[in-house]
Amino acid sequence: MFVRLTAVVALLAAALALAPAAAQTAGFHPKADVSTRLLVGDADDAGSAAWLGLDVRLGPEWHTYWRSAGDAGAPPEFDWSGSQNVADVTVEWPAPRRFTEADIDTYGYENHVLFPLHVRLKDASTPAHLSLKAVLYVCSVICTQNEAQLEAEIAPGSHQNAAQAQIDDWRQKVPRDSSQTLSIQSLRLERQPKPHLVIEAHAQPRFTAPDVFVDGDLAVAAGRPQLEHRADGDALISIPVNGLDQAGLQRPLRVTLVDGDRALEAALPQAAVALSPSVSKTAAATSSIWVILGIALLGGFILNLMPCVFPVLSLKVVSLIDHRTTDAPPLRAALLATAAGILASFAALAVTLSTLKAAGAQIGWGLQFQQPAFLIAMSVVLVAFAANLLGLFEIGLPWWLGSRIGGAGHGRSLAGHVFNGFVMTLLATPCSAPFVGTAVAFALSQQAPQILLVFAGLGLGMASPYLALAAVPRLAALLPRPGRWMIAVRAVAAAAMIATTLWLIIILAEISGIATAGVTAALLLAFVLALAASRIRLRHAILAALATAAIALVVVAATRPPATEMKGQDIAWQPLRPDNIEGQVRTGHTVFVDIGASWCVTCKVNETLVLDSAAVHRRLTSDVIPVKADWTKPNDTIAAYLKSFDRYGLPFNVVFGPGAPNGIVLPELLTQEIVLDAIDTASRPVTAH
């Protein structure tokens, strides 16, 4: 690696020294032959996002660089800070080609490249202005840095723009994680005799001139691939890798397989790099999956204790205490039914995520809380639970569906206990507990069978308390017998359900707006009042008053500034721009990244108890660049950034600095000591030995 770097410096120095003479003798002008422009494409159907294209034209023998430049050069830099009504911009990178000069390999584009830009708007009903400061590094006989200031207007709801066809053409050249003509059957790291990546790939039609590019971790450099053709379009590709230590990677590697006009991208998880050199392929796979299953079981059990589950603990308490009622099923059967509901919900999540991944969609843990339909459905279910706990379903109702849902919440049938377990799991997923993030990250980087197996482990871990009680039912005898005091218990449980519903409606207001949240709250209130009309009692009047107050709170909450603006308002939070972080670290800065969401309860706990504490607050307002991103709504940039760390859930925090250029990923539950130690470690300058 040192030899290559020395050669790069010598080559650049020689080129810069000879450039003036070449210009005088051959009429060569040392200015790069490059032109740029912004193309405006179509908006999506909802008008909340639009496609643009950064069109770059290069003269003969000039080239620019990919997101990873290789042994020399530098990737493009993009700054959108001057834009208006723009929430974020995601850059898509067309497949590069390899440029070789002596023993130096660089990756990029020549002649012409268009970078597709997915622009998400803050307000879909008003025009947006995109201001782009692009820094491109282009090389020929010399290398130059070129800055371009480009502007574009985005009209709401614009369609059938002539430029969209060009943008779509270049989007077809962007490597994806699936391809109709290319596939990767196996991707692994082998350390003997020297570290190298091994890819078992298939192409139909057969490979013609394949190439492989490896990026993702700045400390890792990959060599040129060696190809061995096999029968029926199969190939074995080996790529030497330098820069790995015994601890493995700090960030996962991305592997891009290119063959002519077709390309495929795959990820090598960090866990796959840390394997011992003596472990065989089969033994390593078996060992890692058993370790992950153990982690999944532990993570699923801990999920019962996470803050995300606190609002629904009342469902468990009432379900267990009610087991002695005359119309309740036997205790063991009820416990097993609840466990079955938990396992079924995890299986449903696994199948859904596997299907979405196969379709190329964005996947992650707890992302259903980004969907308005899910929030509304869960609000209806919880209100029905609350009404049932307060006795509003004790007489005949014309709403048979509500009665059945309420009966499920009350747990007076085996189906009710199954449904109870199903709902508990869905409400427990907005945050990733310790060990859950590790298990989910491994699972979502694998294929459907592994996803199903790991999620089954998570479900088994969460259901383990119910299974333990079912195995030893006499433990339930420690619970008090039902009596009049149960009225108070049900009232407390109903209050918890109402509070959870309020939380969901506040999230709905942030995602879909005040109108949608207000209408939903009003309809839920009308439902409760209609039930109470047949049984006018004091508690029903109190419930109606609480529901009315809830709507008022929703209006207040929805009209407040977003939480990211209210919390730590004297902290100069910067938006997440992954391309800028590397440059900030190169200039000696320490960067703290915090990614959360309104639906992530653990994020709020970390924020209140740790990030807003005096000691951490002092660091974030002094010598650290704080970066914040909100994943309350779907966001491709945030999803891709999390995926680059092999993470698929929240909360997520990482610290970069001169002492940790690849980042220190923090655990899901933060403490002041963890955050301050990471900042201190990342801030230490690297000393030469």
Is residue 3 domain-resident? no
Calculate what percentage of the chain has a pLDDT beyond 90.
29
Give me the count of residues in the chain. Answer: 689
- The kind and range of the H/E element at 147 are strand 143-154
Range among 85-99, 178-192, 317-331, 445-459 with highest mean pLDDT value = 85-99
- What's the confidence (pLDDT) of residue 672? 92
**Tokens for 33?**
């032959």
Paired residues of 51 in beta bridges? 118
pLDDT above 50: residue 608: yes
- What's the confidence (pLDDT) of residue 605? 86
- What's the confidence (pLDDT) of residue 366? 76
- What's the confidence (pLDDT) of residue 412? 56
pLDDT above 60: residue 425: yes
**Domain limit, last residue, from 211, 244, 273:** 273
Give the pLDDT band (50/70/90) at residue 280.
very low
Across 483-510, average pLDDT: 78
Number of H helices, E strands in the chain: 20, 23
Is residue 392 domain-resident? yes
pLDDT above 70: residue 451: yes
- What's the confidence (pLDDT) of residue 596? 92
pLDDT above 80: residue 487: no
pLDDT above 80: residue 266: yes
Across 173-191, average pLDDT: 87
Across 651-662, average pLDDT: 88
Across 323-329, average pLDDT: 53
- CA dist 497 and 381 (Å) reads 9
Give the pLDDT band (50/70/90) at residue 435.
confident
Give the pLDDT band (50/70/90) at residue 232.
confident
Q: Would you tell me how many other CB atoms lie within 10 Å of the CB of residue 446?
A: 17
Give the pLDDT band (50/70/90) at residue 634.
confident
- What's the confidence (pLDDT) of residue 10? 43
Strand order in the sheet with 660-665: 574-575, 624-630, 590-596, 652-657, 660-665
Give the pLDDT band (50/70/90) at residue 399.
very low
**Domain limit, last residue, from 503, 534, 559:** 559
Query: What is the CB-side half-sphere exposure of residue 22 using CA atoms within 13 A?
Result: 13
User: Does 162 share its domain with 216?
Assistant: no
- What's the confidence (pLDDT) of residue 279? 34
User: Does 216 share its domain with 166?
Assistant: no
- What's the confidence (pLDDT) of residue 357? 75
Across 636-656, average pLDDT: 86
Across 345-370, average pLDDT: 81
Is residue 7 domain-resident? no
User: Does 428 share its domain with 549?
Assistant: yes
- CA dist 594 and 576 (Å) reads 9
User: Does 484 share its domain with 361?
Assistant: yes
Q: What is the CATH number of the domain that holds 65?
A: 2.60.40
Q: Would you tell me how many other CB atoms lie within 10 Å of the CB of residue 50?
A: 28
- What's the confidence (pLDDT) of residue 292? 80
- What's the confidence (pLDDT) of residue 5? 44
Across 433-442, average pLDDT: 72
DSSP tag of 242: E
User: Does 247 share its domain with 120?
Assistant: no
- What's the confidence (pLDDT) of residue 259? 94
Query: What is the CB-side half-sphere exposure of residue 92 using CA atoms within 13 A?
Result: 22
For the chain, give the mean pLDDT.
78
Range among 200-204, 387-391, 681-685 with highest mean pLDDT value = 200-204
User: Does 153 share its domain with 217?
Assistant: no
User: Does 303 share its domain with 359?
Assistant: yes
Give the pLDDT band (50/70/90) at residue 2.
very low
Going by DSSP bridges, is the β-strand pair 624-630/574-575 parallel, antiparallel, or unpaired? Answer: parallel
- Nearest CA-CA partner of 80 in 565, 645, 632, 574: 574
Paired residues of 226 in beta bridges? 238
User: Does 211 share its domain with 87?
Assistant: no
List helix spans (H) across 359-371.
none
- CA dist 680 and 671 (Å) reads 14
Distances (CA, A) of 533 to 48, 80, 152, 381, 537: 42, 56, 57, 20, 9
User: 442, 252 in Cβ contact below 8 A?
Assistant: no
Q: Would you tell me how many other CB atoms lie within 10 Å of the CB of residue 238?
A: 15
pLDDT above 70: residue 394: no
Backbone angles phi, psi at 606, to 5 degrees: -60, -40
77 CB-contact burial (10 Å; exposed 0-12 / middle 13-18 / buried 19+)? middle
Q: What is the CATH number of the domain that holds 586?
A: 3.40.30.10
- CA dist 511 and 557 (Å) reads 13
Domain enclosing residue 574, as ranges: 565-683
- What's the confidence (pLDDT) of residue 542? 57
The residue type found at 13 is A
- What's the confidence (pLDDT) of residue 87? 87
Is residue 282 domain-resident? no
User: Does 367 share its domain with 409?
Assistant: yes
Give the pLDDT band (50/70/90) at residue 323.
low
User: Does 447 share its domain with 492?
Assistant: yes
pLDDT above 80: residue 273: no
pLDDT in tens, 532-584: 665 555 455 555 556 555 655 655 555 555 444 444 457 889 999 888 888 88
- What's the confidence (pLDDT) of residue 311? 54
Is residue 314 domain-resident? yes
**Domain limit, last residue, from 228, 246, 273:** 273
User: Does 133 share its domain with 187?
Assistant: no
- CA dist 514 and 201 (Å) reads 50
User: 9, 33 in Cβ contact below 8 A?
Assistant: no
**Tokens for 156?**
């709401």
pLDDT above 70: residue 321: no
Widest distance between CA atoms in the chain: 102
Query: Domain tally for the chain?
Result: 4
- CA dist 43 and 29 (Å) reads 41
Is residue 14 domain-resident? no
Going by DSSP bridges, is the β-strand pair 590-596/624-630 parallel, antiparallel, or unpaired? Answer: parallel
Give the pLDDT band (50/70/90) at residue 28.
very low
- The kind and range of the H/E element at 215 are strand 210-215
User: Does 350 share its domain with 404?
Assistant: yes
Distances (CA, A) of 494 to 403, 408, 488, 491, 500: 16, 14, 10, 5, 10
Across 513-525, average pLDDT: 86
The residue type found at 221 is A
- What's the confidence (pLDDT) of residue 24? 34
Give the pLDDT band (50/70/90) at residue 212.
very high
Q: What is the DSSP string of 90-143?
A: EE-----EEEEETTEEEEEEESEEEEEEEEEES-TTS-EEEEEEEEEEEESSSE
- What's the confidence (pLDDT) of residue 554? 57
- What's the confidence (pLDDT) of residue 188? 83
- What's the confidence (pLDDT) of residue 203? 92
Is residue 533 domain-resident? yes
pLDDT above 80: residue 315: no
- Nearest CA-CA partner of 293 in 451, 144, 57, 119: 451
Query: Out of 104-118, 142-156, 659-673, which region has the weakest mean confidence (pLDDT)?
Result: 659-673
- What's the confidence (pLDDT) of residue 4? 46
Tell how far CA 435 is from the center of its chain: 16
Give the pLDDT band (50/70/90) at residue 20.
very low
Is residue 115 domain-resident? yes
